[in-house]
């Protein structure tokens, strides 16, 4: 971690950090308000996109999950600098947080942006988007809630599309049954801009819980 990230952890973690070992969370108590839509992002990297969304949408509550310490520190630094009150953070495995800490039917959106593609075929089973994961998210989303994915690996985009198109209880929000244009709600990150300069494509997928 940088000195700034370490200072942010010391300063803001006691107020904004959540601990998976504490078990199921009461989200109204966590954020100190009732009725706000809750958006959860798995693997937020350095947190630039998540902090920007929270700044633009103070009416929503955001939960970020990231195992990488410098990323957690960077997000807390951005949140502290902006004085945001609508962000909370887990430094833990995303699947375990969903299973142990997030109430069923509580999320308006789950975001998974540029996860590890595990591009070698023998590693595809390690990709987070699998049928079991889709079912776990379906339980955590409200009816009408959306699972939003983005990747710069076309093969992983195809994998996500195929898994989610056959997952029970979801509707693909793409009119063509595959991908959606990048929504304005997803800020373009430095990572993504770099990939675009290198000629990488980007694919967004959005699936709504309907049952």
116 among known catalytic residues: yes
Cβ contacts of residue 94 below 8 Å, gap of 6+? Answer: 42, 43, 65, 128
Token pair for residue 149? 């994915």
- 3-class secondary structure for 130-165? CHHHHHHHHHHEEEEEEEEEEECCHHHHHHHHHHHH
Which of 176, 169, 172 is closest to 205 using CA atoms?
Answer: 172
Q: SS3 helix, strand, coil % of the chain, rounded to 5?
A: 40, 20, 35
> 39: phi > 0 → left, psi -120 to 50 → alpha, else beta; which?
beta
List the catalytic residue out of 37, 116, 152, 204.
116
Catalytic residue list: 116
């Amino acid at each position: 971690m940088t000195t700034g990230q370490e200072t942010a952890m010391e300063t803001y973690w006691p107020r904004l950090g959540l601990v998976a070992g504490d078990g199921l969370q009461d989200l109204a108590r966590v954020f100190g308000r009732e009725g706000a839509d809750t958006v959860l992002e798995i693997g937020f990297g350095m947190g630039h996109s998540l902090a920007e969304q929270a700044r633009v949408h103070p009416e929503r509550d955001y939960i970020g999950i990231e195992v990488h310490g410098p990323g957690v520190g960077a997000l807390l630094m951005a949140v502290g600098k902006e004085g945001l009150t609508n962000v909370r953070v887990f430094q833990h495995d995303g699947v375990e947080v969903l299973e142990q800490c997030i109430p069923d039917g509580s999320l308006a959106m789950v975001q998974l942006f540029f996860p590890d593609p595990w591009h070698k075929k023998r590693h595809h089973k390690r990709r987070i988007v699998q049928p079991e994961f889709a079912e776990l998210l379906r339980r955590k989303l409200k009816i009408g809630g959306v699972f939003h994915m983005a990747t710069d690996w076309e093969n992983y985009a195809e994998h996500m599309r195929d898994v989610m198109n056959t997952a029970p209880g979801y509707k693909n929000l793409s009119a063509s049954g595959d991908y959606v244009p990048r929504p304005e709600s997803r800020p373009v990150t430095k990572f993504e801009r770099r990939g675009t300069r290198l000629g990488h494509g980007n694919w967004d997928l959005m699936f709504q819980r309907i049952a």
